[in-house]
Amino acid sequence: MSLDEIKIGGMGASRRRVEDNRFIRGKGKYVDDVVLPGMLHMEILRSTVAHANIKSIDTSAAWEVPGVRLVLTGEMMAARNLAWMPTLSYDTQAVLATDKIRFQGQEIAAVIADDPYIAKDACAKIVVEYEQLPAITNPFMAQDPAMPIIRDDKENQPTNKIFDWEIGDKERTDQAFAEADVISTIDLHYPRSHPSPMENCGSIADYDRATGKLTVYMTSQAPHIVRAAVAMVAEIPEHQIRIISPDLGGGFGNKVPIYPGYVISILASILTERPVKWIEDKTGNLISTGFGRDVYLNGQMALRKDGKILGMRMHTISDHGAFYADAQPTKFKIGLMHSTFACYDVPAAHLTSEGYYTTKAPGGVAYRCSFRVTEAMFFQERMMHAAANDLGMDQAAFRRVNLVKDDMFPYRTAFGFLTDSGQYDKCMQVGMEAIGYDNFKAEQEEARKRGKLLGIGISTMTEPLGAGNSREYDIIGIKMFDSAELRVHMTGKAILRTGAKTQGQGHETTWAQIVAHELGIPADDIVVEEGDTDTAPFGMGTYASRSTPVAGAAVAMVARKIRAKARKIAAHLLEVSEEDIEWELGRFYVRGNQERGVTIQDCALAAYSNIPDGLEPGLENNAYYDPPNLTWPFAAYFCKVEVDAETGVWDVLQFVAVDDCGVRINPMIVEGQVMGGLTEAYAMANMQYITFDEEGNCIGANYMDYLLPTAWETPGFELHEVVTPCPHHPIGAKGIGECATVAGPAAFVNAVMNAIEHTGVRNVDMPLMPNRVYEALQTGKDVSGMPPVKVG
Amino acid sequence: MYPSRFAYEAPKTLAEAIALLDANGGEAKVLSGGQSLIPMVKLRFASPELLVDINNIPGLDYMRIDEQGNLRIGALVRHEDLEHSTTLPATHPTLAAASHLVADPIVRTRGTFVGSLCHADPQGDWAATMIALGGRIVAQGPKGKREIDMREFVLGPFTNALAFNEIAVEAIVPPVKGKAAGSYLKLERRVGDFATASVAVALDMNGATVGRAGCALAGVGGRTIDANDAISVLVGKTLNAESIEAAAEAVAAAADPRTDHRGSADYKRHIVKTFVTRILNNIANSEQKAA
Ligand SMILES: Cc1cc2nc3c(=O)[nH]c(=O)nc-3n(C[C@H](O)[C@H](O)[C@H](O)COP(=O)(O)OP(=O)(O)OC[C@H]3O[C@@H](n4cnc5c(N)ncnc54)[C@H](O)[C@@H]3O)c2cc1C
């Protein structure tokens, strides 16, 4: 008599995404769709140069434009102590520049006017006089003592260095290297990239002087963090601040930080006493908001002749732009870079990191990744590739020797993480079979005879998803737990709210499935709401694949609390003691008499109409979930390419992805996440990057230069699954939102390298554009992607 | 994206359109497909006071071959009209090859062939094919029509030879003498990407011998590169390894590329040479097959 879980849209159902009903009809409600009475419009004037002292800013002509209500400059912000704001990494960032321009695109002034056209016209009338300084476009230039100090606004900042950081065991690692038969090295740059969500950033600030309430519609992946930050910066009490993050047109980490535009729009609303809307344009988004990556990765590996890894060293030099604004757990200066090699049995490891200011946009956001895990895993798999070659070992065999074995869990990594589950070798086997790995060498040789260059690449990884447990993970002091609140109405329908914030992941669909699984209420009877800080419970938001591991767990836990109360009501209705009640999906029954039972809907009705003595009426609760550990999904990716030796153009012939993300709530959504992630991985490997010329001009400021792949060139992907449930997550799920972006790039790059490394080349920096691949083929030398790009 | 203020007119006749241009003394711009003009206006790279939309003017959307064998393409023929033509691959293989490579499928539904020529983007695809084919533009102004050779039409980056009060009403491709052969190859990083380097080759073949030879390049100079003189080394010759090598060398030498993030000048020149070689080899191979 038990319900069919798939039919009610529970766990494992490939339920269609309920949010798509409005998205495909153009009925989504994004920040830009919100129109408030009397709303004004704001435009930001951005710097055209990368590095300059500001000699003067003349706004007088802008004030003259009819329809202009307010022109704000850094000086006016400074008068209210708002010219600078704190970043998520305990640095400061200019809201509107007062002293100096530190990157091209930096915010200089803002015009608030009756419509956005007027605001834009007036921006063009502001005259800024610059005294140019040299652009510093990579951290090595930043080290040069002849270069100016970028952050001369700060005390105790005599150089352009931001931090030195290390983790691991240096002595043990040195020892491992002393004992090594072979030492392998690699030198890489993971280029700067931009998450580039379809919807740009924006806000509508609405300060009501009569009530003292500030409401801000905002493109935020973490509205509660914003509320806390605004309370601290704007000195408005927290209960008087309401942040509403409506539908988001993608985030990918780009909508985690707090941007100057938000802050300026808030002040503008306070000053004008009108709602003020600010919607960034695409160029503004690309040149000024949170970028990802931009790290130089250098490493060595100590190896035994038989292929066993004895130890590894890694050194990172990261380029953070003009302000250290990385959005990451505070304890770790370079994110979770030390998750590198977590899937391999590596006895000794040591990581050292240096971070630098440059005259580039700030950000360092976790672009579809768990805080620099993308760089960590890219480094790992490029290092593995180089090491296998140096050993003269087969790529797959080398990995299989070193992957953590199933019986080694829980496994403590050399950097201190605890991985808890996985079937790594099984994933390898599934992937190798699907791509025809064992035949490849013959295929490659045969193709060479016909003048064709084929290559195969492997990338495997486990990554730490779901920050975090509160012992180790906090952002500016706020612990990284999450929450859910569930209200079951009288007729058995329900509303669920969480502290996460969906931006394409499909929470409205999957959260309802978890509740359906736990309570047997059909998923279609549950509405899911997120993003309004006045109604949603406090949470840290959605990024770093943390929603299902943390908020999703809270959803299961709150549903279980509801079930526990419903059980009491059921006992009352069935007139037996609670101990004699059994549960099956959607229904309680009397032990030994399965016929005698009540449904969860019966219990809901009774909660409002027939409450046993001593029990509170109603059927609602909340849960705050602090995960005991991160979750550790595993990926094994295999890619086959063909390189055109005459042009350097490469094509993907086959791509096989094996993912183990534990229990899959909605397999269709999981596949969507993997497909999307692989598309971004392909983009990173092939075309999508931001660079700078010698003057510090951003190359990648629009979609003519910043290339996102389309359906046209994106290769097909073959997806496979292995399921190893997470041992500590209430429903056995692990994160999946980012596995493919994290593990994907190295698979493409390793494949191309495999096709061309007979020339002696060890590395070509991403993106592997045809000209770079051609150069490597011609010279047999490594090709660096370090900016600045020479033009002329 | 918020353009500066502009007026908009959508006349129903060419005469009205020309009168509007004439009356606005250089401050007006013709709007055809809008696929270049709208982005320029949106980004405020251009701030015309008036847009004269010619899309409502009837009779400009033809593509036909006249009695003399000229291919005539009206001002409102869209990129996709060329792409979907079933006859073009046989009559004008160079145009047919390019038609799939101009922009992306969305842009191709609106952008016009003639508008693209007028836009004179150094990376534009159609201008290269038209220079290789020895085409002409028909310009119409207050004083009537005149024809402008494509080699004189593109003056520089985003600059054409039209007077402010002239509209390009038609593009003409002269008849082929013999059998048309040719192609268009483009190195792009993604669909809709402008050319890193591209090559248009158009040959009139008399049996195995090259009659007329035309070539032009996009993406490898401050404007569309006219490589007709360079490829003329083929005239009167058959296509063989030696002649192909000589032609490819000559065309590559005519390129004037710049080093940038898409590649070094040498790389782009190398691509030009590779593409000329590939196109000519293909023609040679299909000639052999036909024989
Ligand atoms: C995303 C994207 C990708 C693109 N990729 C490519 C590409 O790969 N290769 C490529 O070649 N092009 C590309 N383009 C440009 C595209 O081909 C344009 O359609 C074309 O260049 C202009 O044609 P149009 O009809 O749209 O002209 P419009 O944009 O309307 O006008 C362009 C210019 O020509 C003038 N003009 C237009 N028609 C006439 C006329 N009849 N008489 C006089 N003046 C006229 C206008 O005043 C304006 O200055 C791309 C465009 C976009 C948006």
Q: How many structural domains does chain A have?
A: 3
Residues A648, A728 within the same domain: yes
Cβ distance B274 to A699 less than 8 Å, yes or no, reads no
Q: Would you state the pLDDT for residue B287?
A: 80
Q: Is the pLDDT of residue A709 over 90?
A: yes
Query: CB-based contact (8 Å) between A124 and chain B?
Result: yes
Residues A266, A379 within the same domain: no
Q: What is the pLDDT of residues A524-565, one digit of tens each?
A: 999 999 999 999 999 999 998 899 999 999 999 999 999 999
Q: For chain B, which domains are there?
A: 7-53 (3.30.43.10), 63-173 (3.30.465.10), 179-290 (3.30.390.50)
Query: CB-based contact (8 Å) between A647 and chain B?
Result: yes
Domain that holds residue A266: 34-133+200-248+255-288
User: What distance in angstroms lies between residue B192's CA and the mean position of ligand 1's atoms?
Assistant: 13
Q: How far apart are CA B72 and CA B63, in angstroms?
A: 6
A714 within a domain of the structure (yes/no): yes
Q: Of A240, A273, A288, which residue sits at a domain end?
A: A288
CA dihedral B264, A753, A717, A194 (to 10 degrees): -50
Q: Is the pLDDT of residue B289 over 90?
A: no
Q: Would you state the pLDDT for residue A469?
A: 83
CB neighbour class for B209 (10 Å; exposed up to 12, middle 13-18, buried from 19): middle
Q: How many CB atoms lie within 10 A of CB A269?
A: 27
Q: What is the pLDDT of residues B1-55, one digit of tens each?
A: 789 999 999 999 999 999 999 999 999 999 999 999 999 999 999 999 999 999 9
User: What distance in angstroms lies between residue A709's CA and the mean position of ligand 1's atoms?
Assistant: 22
User: What distance in angstroms lies between residue B60's CA and the mean position of ligand 1's atoms?
Assistant: 16
Q: How many CB atoms lie within 10 A of CB A671?
A: 18
Who among B2, B191, B259 is closest to A790 (CB)?
B259
Tell whether ligand 1 has an atom less than 6 A from the beta carbon of residue B192. Answer: yes
Interfacial B residues in 95-134 facing A (CB < 8 Å): 104-105
Tell whether ligand 1 has an atom less than 6 A from the beta carbon of residue B39. Answer: yes
Segment (H or E) for A508: helix A507-519
Q: How far apart are CA B217 and CA B124, in angstroms?
A: 9
| Full-model pTM | 0.97
Q: Of A572, A605, A625, which residue sits at a domain end?
A: A625
Cβ distance A687 to B190 less than 8 Å, yes or no, reads yes
Q: How many CB atoms lie within 10 A of CB B87?
A: 11
A50 within a domain of the structure (yes/no): yes
* Interior/surface letters A179-216, b for 16+ CB within 10 angstroms, e for the rest: ebeeebebbbbbbbbbbbbebbbbbbbbbeeeeebbbb
A120 within a domain of the structure (yes/no): yes
Q: How far apart are CA A115 and CA A299, in angstroms?
A: 53
Q: Are B49 and B24 in contact (CB under 8 A)?
A: yes
Residue A423 neighbours by CB under 8 Å, 6+ apart: A406, A634, A660, A722, A724
- Mean pLDDT, rounded, of chain B: 96
Site of tokens 């509660």: A224
Residue A592 neighbours by CB under 8 Å, 6+ apart: none
Tell whether ligand 1 has an atom less than 6 A from the beta carbon of residue B80. Answer: no
Q: Of A601, A625, A649, which residue sits at a domain end?
A: A625
Q: Which of B46, B4, B49 is nearest to B23 (CA)?
A: B49
CA B42 remoteness from chain centre: 24
Query: CB-based contact (8 Å) between B47 and chain A?
Result: no
Beta bridge partners of A483: A624
Residue A24 neighbours by CB under 8 Å, 6+ apart: none
Q: What is the pLDDT of residues B53-82, one digit of tens each?
A: 999 999 999 999 999 999 999 999 999 999
List the structure tokens of B37: 């003009």
Cβ distance A687 to B258 less than 8 Å, yes or no, reads no
- Mean pLDDT, rounded, of chain A: 96
Calculate ∠ Cα A517-A523-A524, nearest 5°.
165
Alpha helices per DSSP H over chain B: 14-23, 37-42, 79-84, 88-91, 93-99, 105-110, 113-119, 125-132, 150-153, 228-231, 241-254, 265-290
A302 within a domain of the structure (yes/no): no
Q: Is the pLDDT of residue A769 over 70?
A: yes
Q: Is the pLDDT of residue A52 over 70?
A: yes
CA A711 remoteness from chain centre: 22
Q: What is the pLDDT of residues B199-228, one digit of tens each?
A: 999 999 999 999 999 999 999 999 999 999
Spell out where A593-705 has E strands: 593-599, 620-625, 634-643, 650-660, 691-692, 698-699
Residues of chain B positioned with their CB less than 8 A from the CB of A705? 261
Cβ distance B1 to A282 less than 8 Å, yes or no, reads yes
Best residue in A46, A771, A773 for a mutation probing chain B (most B CBs within 10 Å)? A771
Q: What is the pLDDT of residues A22-49, one digit of tens each?
A: 999 999 999 999 999 999 999 999 999 9
Q: Are B65 and B72 in contact (CB under 8 A)?
A: yes
A748: domain CATH number is 3.30.365.10
Segment (H or E) for A441: helix A437-449
| B152 φ/ψ angles, rounded to the nearest 5 degrees | -105, -5
Residues of chain A positioned with their CB less than 8 A from the CB of B274? 646-647
What's the ipTM? 0.96
Tell whether ligand 1 has an atom less than 6 A from the beta carbon of residue B182. Answer: no
Query: CB-based contact (8 Å) between A646 and chain B?
Result: yes
Residues A453, A560 within the same domain: no
Tell whether ligand 1 has an atom less than 6 A from the beta carbon of residue B30. Answer: yes
Q: Which of B272, B108, B107, B127 is nearest to B185 (CA)?
A: B272
Q: Would you state the pLDDT for residue A440?
A: 98
List the structure tokens of B284: 């040679």
Cβ distance B104 to A710 less than 8 Å, yes or no, reads yes
Q: What's the rounded mean pLDDT across residues B99-105? A: 96
Residues A642, A534 within the same domain: no
Q: What is the pLDDT of residues A431-472, one digit of tens each?
A: 999 999 999 999 999 999 999 999 999 999 999 998 878 888
Residues A76, A213 within the same domain: yes
Residues A619, A636 within the same domain: no
Site of tokens 């013709």: B30
A14 within a domain of the structure (yes/no): no
Residues A384, A505 within the same domain: no
User: What distance in angstroms lies between residue A682's CA and the mean position of ligand 1's atoms?
Assistant: 30
Query: CB-based contact (8 Å) between A774 and chain B?
Result: yes
* % of chain A surpassing 70 pLDDT: 100
Q: Is the pLDDT of residue A1 over 70?
A: no
| A294 φ/ψ angles, rounded to the nearest 5 degrees | 70, 60
Query: CB-based contact (8 Å) between A778 and chain B?
Result: no
Segment (H or E) for A380: helix A373-391
- Bridge-based pairing state of the strands A650-660 and A718-721: parallel
Residues A536, A663 within the same domain: no
Q: How far apart are CA B127 and CA B149, in angstroms?
A: 12
Counting other chains too, the contacts that A232-237 makes at CB distance below 8 Å and 24 or more residues apart are A232/A86, A233/A82, A233/A85, A233/A86, A233/A263, A234/A82, A234/A263, A234/A266, A234/A267, A236/A212
CA nearest to B186 within chain A: A647
* % of chain A surpassing 90 pLDDT: 95
Task: Return the SS3 of A418.
Answer: strand
Residues A224, A95 within the same domain: yes
CA B103 remoteness from chain centre: 13
A571 within a domain of the structure (yes/no): yes
Residues A747, A650 within the same domain: yes
Q: Which of A743, A759, A787 is nearest to A643 (CA)?
A: A759
Residues A244, A283 within the same domain: yes
Alpha helices per DSSP H over A252-331: 260-272, 282-288
A393 within a domain of the structure (yes/no): yes
* Interior/surface letters B230-263, b for 16+ CB within 10 angstroms, e for the rest: bbbbbeebebeeebbeebbebbbebbebebbbbb
Q: Which of A317, A345, A98 is nearest to A187 (CA)?
A: A317
Q: What is the pLDDT of residues A676-697, one digit of tens each?
A: 999 999 999 999 999 999 999 9
pLDDT band of residue A478 (cuts 50, 70, 90) is confident
Residue B66 neighbours by CB under 8 Å, 6+ apart: B72
Residues A428, A507 within the same domain: no
* % of chain B surpassing 70 pLDDT: 100
Mutate to test the pocket of ligand 1, among B1, B27, B30 (most ligand atoms within 8 A of CB): B30
A696 within a domain of the structure (yes/no): yes
Q: Is the pLDDT of residue A476 over 80?
A: no
